[in-house]
Amino acid sequence: MIYPQPKFLPGGDRFVLIEFGNEMNLELNFMAQGLASAIRESGTRGIVETAPCFASLLVHYDPDILSFGDLQREMSALIRALGPSDDIVLDSRLFYLPTLYRDPWTRECVEDYCAKIVKKEPDPEFVARINGLADVDQLVRVHSGTEYWVASLGFWPGLPFMMALDPRSVITAPKYNPPRTWTPQGTIGMGGASTAIYPVATPGGYQIFARTPVPIWDTAKRFPVFEDSIVLFRAGDRVKFVPVTLEEYRATEAQVAAGTYVYNVVEYQKFAVRNYKAWLDTFDHGKRF
């Protein structure tokens, strides 16, 4: 549910978690990001930083400047001023990422997991089956048939947690149990209703079935897109996975290695919740691609 009033949950002496509801839907994330944006614009003294997640916003504050009581009052006023979520408009860049579905590296990773940890159905077949899709071809169509909304970053620096904006592409999957000990860099996978990209090789728990050769973080700042931040995404961005062949993947990988790759980013758009909701009313959500 979406709470009638957000909850202010203290996290020690310098954090508060503002929870908007207890389910995973885009509406709650729009509210969390709307509040983060309102806090930035208000310049409220004593706020150190904020971190949005699916249904909540974590606020880090300096209690020497701002008491918990004053923080609660200031945040409540900002939330009231936000109005209904329909009015929220957020800066939103769109990233096109070349993506090789059913790639050999995630397949090898799953085979290694089966051999060393526990045997399981291959991830693409498994995700297709439990979502009632005809086959892995349809999984690729459905998964690549939408823009993804970057709800938050975390778990590892720069790792985006994303949700499908098109309800016809919403699929779900349980996480690995136990988790994997390794995942190739650039792997794309999903768990719950969330899709993620692994910025570097790390352990992981998502079902994996694709890979992108494009770096999503770069401590060396080899590409201009990392000028202001070594992390490619920020909350409120959108991502479109563009299916490519192995040959195209290799060609992009070579451009990345040579430093000549040009990131495909659209930077002129804003995301208006009202327009998005109006669009949702225009088609049958149950019809898969």
Partner 1 sequence: MLEVVKPGLETSIQDYPGRIGYWAQGFPPSGPMDSWSFRLANLLVGNDAGDAGLECQFVGPSLRFPRDTVIACCGADMKPTVEGAPIPMWESVAVKAGATLALSFAAAGARTYIAVAGGITTPPWLGSRSTFHKAGVGGMEGHALKAGQVVPTGAGKGKPGRRVRPEARPAIATDKRWIIEVVAGPNDDWIDEAGHKRFLETDWKLSAKSDRTGFRLEGPDWSFTAKATDKAPENGSEPSNIIDQGYPFGAINLAGQTPIILVNDGPSMGGFINPYTVPSAAFWKLAQAKPAERLRFKAVSLDEAQALRHRINTLCNDASII
Which residues are bridge partners to 49 per DSSP?
A: 60
Q: If binding is defined by CB under 8 A, does position 91 make contact with partner 1?
A: no
Which CB atom, from 60 or from 274, has the smaller least distance to partner 1?
60
Binding residue (CB under 8 A) for partner 1 from 93, 143, 211, 234: 234
Q: If binding is defined by CB under 8 A, does position 23 make contact with partner 1?
A: yes
Least distance (Å) from partner 1 to the CB of residue 34?
A: 15
CB 241 within 8 A of CB 144: yes
Place of tokens 């930035």: 40
Q: If binding is defined by CB under 8 A, does position 35 make contact with partner 1?
A: no
Q: How far is CA 228 from CA 82, 218, 223, 264, 282, in A?
A: 28, 11, 11, 17, 38
Binding residue (CB under 8 A) for partner 1 from 9, 134, 254, 265: 9
Q: If binding is defined by CB under 8 A, does position 24 make contact with partner 1?
A: yes
From residue 137 to residue 166, the character string flagging contacts with partner 1 as x (rule: CB under 8 A) and all else as - is: ---------------xxxxxxxx-x-----
Binding residue (CB under 8 A) for partner 1 from 231, 251, 256, 272: 231
Rounded to the nearest 5 percent, the helix, strand and coil shares of the chain are 30, 30, 40
- For residue 80, give the 3-state DSSP assignment: helix
Choices 9-17, 82-90, 130-138, 268-276; region in contact with partner 1 by CB under 8 A = 9-17
Q: Give me 262's structure tokens.
A: 């040009």
| Cβ-Cβ contacts under 8 Å for 141 (sequence gap 6 or more) | 289
Angle between helices 26-42 and 68-82 (to 10 degrees): 110
E strand or H helix that includes residue 151 = strand 147-153
Q: If binding is defined by CB under 8 A, does position 102 make contact with partner 1?
A: no
CB 21 within 8 A of CB 28: yes
Binding residue (CB under 8 A) for partner 1 from 26, 31, 35, 55: 55
Least distance (Å) from partner 1 to the CB of residue 194?
A: 7
Binding residue (CB under 8 A) for partner 1 from 13, 228, 247, 284: 13
Q: How many residues bind partner 1 (CB under 8 A)?
A: 50
Q: Give CA 130 to chain center in angstroms.
A: 22
Q: If binding is defined by CB under 8 A, does position 83 make contact with partner 1?
A: no
Which residues are bridge partners to 210 per DSSP?
A: 101, 188
Which CB atom, from 56 or from 183, has the smaller least distance to partner 1?
56
Q: If binding is defined by CB under 8 A, does position 58 make contact with partner 1?
A: yes
Q: If binding is defined by CB under 8 A, does position 2 make contact with partner 1?
A: no
Q: How far is CA 107 from CA 120, 184, 207, 215, in A?
A: 12, 10, 11, 20
Residue from 156, 191, 193 nearest 175 by CA: 191
Which residue ranges make up the site for partner 1 (CB under 8 A)? 9-17, 19, 22-24, 36, 48-58, 60, 63-64, 68, 152-159, 161, 174-175, 192-194, 200, 219, 229-231, 234-235
